Structure 1
Amino acid sequence: MHLSITRPSTSDEALALLCGARSELGTYIADRVVTEAHLVTAFAARKRRPEWVWAAVRDDRVVGRAAGYGGADNEQPWIVDLFELGAEPDRVEIMTALLRRAADDLHAGGLEQVELNLHPPADWRENPPPALTGLMTAAEAAGFELLVTRRGFRWTPAAGVPAVRDGRDGLRFEPVSGPGDPALADAYRRTFEGSLDAHTQRSLRTRDAAELAAEELADMVNYAGPSDGWRLAYDGDGALAGLVTGNSGARVVTGYVGVVPEQRGRGYARELLAWMTRWQAEHGADLVFGETDDANVPMGRAFEAVGFVQDSARIDLVSG
């Protein structure tokens, strides 16, 4: 192929390699991560780094790109989420080489599992974008396998601020002291039991639940923090019902909605999500984004009940 895989040495070099990339999938997240505004901010915050960037170069032309994203304090990225397949006749083979090199580099750096996140349109099964087909083929050829498919939802003020029940028919929401709050960590750990989340199920095969809860809550600050809006929720009898996390701002995310096993089946996921969405709306949100596994039908129904609309999907593939 007369191809070389380049890894930049500095953030400026990385920006030069990535700026001008196209997502090719046509969804909000896939398009956003290739914008110059996102890239400049992410590199400045160390959520993207030169060592998490790979570019395929042929005859002094960049013909394919991939990049990872993670927490500012993490040694390795959480995910590889930026891709440009390009227009070369052998673009699938080029992306295969890029993803194989990225996985090799990250595994060599100590990352046990390398994860790819693809963000196609909601109807990707019926109408797959050509780039998605190419990316999936390349990922599988590079040794990645499907972990889970997910649904992406959006809420905007046009849907109306959701009502939140109060009194004995509703939940009582209590703030937490931070991601290390022992009550929060214990509640989060308890929601793992019977979880429908594929990532949680996979992690618990080899990880201690309490250790996993602490680690994930610390990481959650990076995308759903700070924790001033995080809440533990209790029913009318004072029993723990679950927890919810999310951040404030104009464009925000639903971080985590979890109900403890003994309280499931009572509509509490909807109540938790409604409270957080109302809190975010009161703090200036004009777009709230949330996701759940396709298999998590109750959470999908909760999103719809609160006024969220599915507008995208996510396909997660893993190596290792």
Structure 2
Amino acid sequence: MTSPSSAVPRLSAVSHPGTELDDVLALTSREPVWRLSADAYRAEAARRRYRSEWTWAARSPDGRLLARAVWWGQSDSAHPIALDCLATTDEAPAEEKAALAAALVDAGHRAFRAAGAETLPLYNLLRLPGAWRDDPDHAAAVAWRQEAAHRAGLTVEVERLQFEWTPEAPLPAEPARLVFTPEPDDDVFLAAMVRVAEGTLDAHTRESEAARGPEAAARESLEFYLDRPGRREWWSLAYTPDGTLAGLAIPSATPYSRNVGYLGVVPELRGRGYVSEILAAITRFQAAAGAERVTATTDLGNRPMAAAFTRAGYRNTETRLIFSAPLE
């Protein structure tokens, strides 16, 4: 007897957003990882953050749904930015889930490349508890997704902590030792980004610098934040009273909330508490704008930044695993 997914599955994007999409969105699973609900999908699709051509399904030869992959992008994105949800049916044997999911993700990747995408989307495995490794059900659910991501070429893996500040927490004290000055010149800001990236603990920045060099890596960050929903005029450079560059602050936003964005301190001034002052400036800026929620992320290995968030009244709300393709 063959198992539900032992025959070669049919892999394709949703071509008929009606009945076919209803079927794909109805896929359920008892696994403990976050699942995308049909209502949430439709709300995002109305804003073009999910699209039928970014929603892929694997079916058995007789048409039974075996797995789905849903990619996300911004409303104006030409190509998807991240794989948001990857799931198989509970009936799929555990030993086959990774192969089935990898084939589905790879099919999506090939289609995105054919449509002009220059880079492969990330895979964000969201909303894991901090101790997910200690729970057998969470660990098993992560394991096959991790294997599938690697098989599909997303072999660079970073674990990140998600933080959140809300008005229920006290505002961090107003910075007393730094002066924050708007800097409209992108080239000046780029030079500051190169400086604060020296010796960074951020895994993506280290990888980008190794592959492309410090200035290209900084330019990638600059362009990333210019493309976010936040405004360029929010950005500032931080100076000591004698005019020495201390760091930079980029308050930003996602389609869902205000966020910390990017901050950093130049290497020669680290260890003096300036990171907390820059974070306080960003938090107070967002709060003054009426933000009811300010989010932030940092790598699990960046313990100084995680500690700064905690001191500023941010709480750790989830853990994420981010898989990406090696930089070319």
TM category (shorter chain) comes to: 0.7 to 0.9
2:270 maps to a residue whose letter is R
Deviations 1:218-262 (A, max 9, x none): 221443512332221111211111112223698322111111222
Query: 2:119 aligned with 1:116, yes or no?
Result: no
Counterparts in 2 of 1:171 and 1:18: CA distance versus 1, 3 Å: farther
Identity percentage of aligned residues: 33
Choose which of 287, 308, 321 in structure 2 pairs with 1:281.
287
TM-aligned CA deviation for residue 300 of structure 1 = 0.8
Query: 2:239 aligned with 1:234, yes or no?
Result: yes
1:230 maps to a residue whose letter is W
2:86 maps to a residue whose letter is F
1:115 maps to a residue whose letter is L
TM-aligned CA deviation for residue 290 of structure 1 = 0.8
| Corresponding residue of 2:305 | 299
Deviations 1:238-291 (A, max 9, x none): 111111222369832211111122221111111111111111112122221111
Query: 2:216 aligned with 1:211, yes or no?
Result: yes
What does 1:53-68 correspond to in 2, within 5 Å? 53-58=55-60, 59-68=62-71
Deviations 1:183-228 (A, max 9, x none): 2222112222111111111112232433333332222144351233
Query: 2:152 aligned with 1:142, yes or no?
Result: yes
Gaps of 5+ in 1: none
Which stretch of structure 1 is more off in the superposition, 256-265 or 75-84? 75-84
Return the TM-score normalized by structure 2.
Answer: 0.80
Choose which of 178, 189, 192 in structure 1 pairs with 2:194.
189
Counterparts in 2 of 1:70 and 1:201: CA distance versus 1, 3 Å: farther
Query: 2:11 aligned with 1:5, yes or no?
Result: yes
TM-aligned CA deviation for residue 68 of structure 1 = 2.9
Which stretch of structure 1 is more off in the superposition, 84-93 or 227-236? 84-93
Counterparts in 2 of 1:175 and 1:286: CA distance versus 1, 3 Å: same
Counterparts in 2 of 1:221 and 1:33: CA distance versus 1, 3 Å: farther
Deviations 1:117-151 (A, max 9, x none): 21222222222624323312322343432432111
| Corresponding residue of 2:92 | 89
| Corresponding residue of 1:176 | 183
User: Conserved in 2, the CA contact under 8 Å of 1:13 and 1:50?
Assistant: no
Matched position secondary structure for 1:233: strand
User: Conserved in 1, the CA contact under 8 Å of 2:123 and 2:323?
Assistant: yes
Query: 2:314 aligned with 1:308, yes or no?
Result: yes
Query: 2:54 aligned with 1:52, yes or no?
Result: yes
Which stretch of structure 1 is more off in the superposition, 6-15 or 275-284? 6-15
Which stretch of structure 1 is more off in the superposition, 203-212 or 116-125? 203-212
Query: 2:164 aligned with 1:154, yes or no?
Result: yes
Counterparts in 2 of 1:259 and 1:73: CA distance versus 1, 3 Å: farther
Return the TM-score normalized by structure 1.
Answer: 0.82
Count of residues in Structure 1 that have an aligned counterpart in Structure 2? 310
| Corresponding residue of 2:44 | 39
Deviations 1:35-86 (A, max 9, x none): 136523541xxx5454433222344444322233345665543332332333
Which stretch of structure 1 is more off in the superposition, 65-74 or 181-190? 65-74
Higher alpha-carbon Rg: 2
User: Conserved in 1, the CA contact under 8 Å of 2:253 and 2:261?
Assistant: no
Choose which of 260, 263, 266 in structure 1 pairs with 2:266.
260
Which stretch of structure 1 is more off in the superposition, 296-305 or 15-24? 15-24
1:140 maps to a residue whose letter is H
Gaps of 5+ in 2: 1-6
2:228 maps to a residue whose letter is Y
User: Conserved in 1, the CA contact under 8 Å of 2:25 and 2:37?
Assistant: no
User: Conserved in 1, the CA contact under 8 Å of 2:11 and 2:104?
Assistant: yes
Which stretch of structure 1 is more off in the superposition, 153-162 or 32-41? 32-41
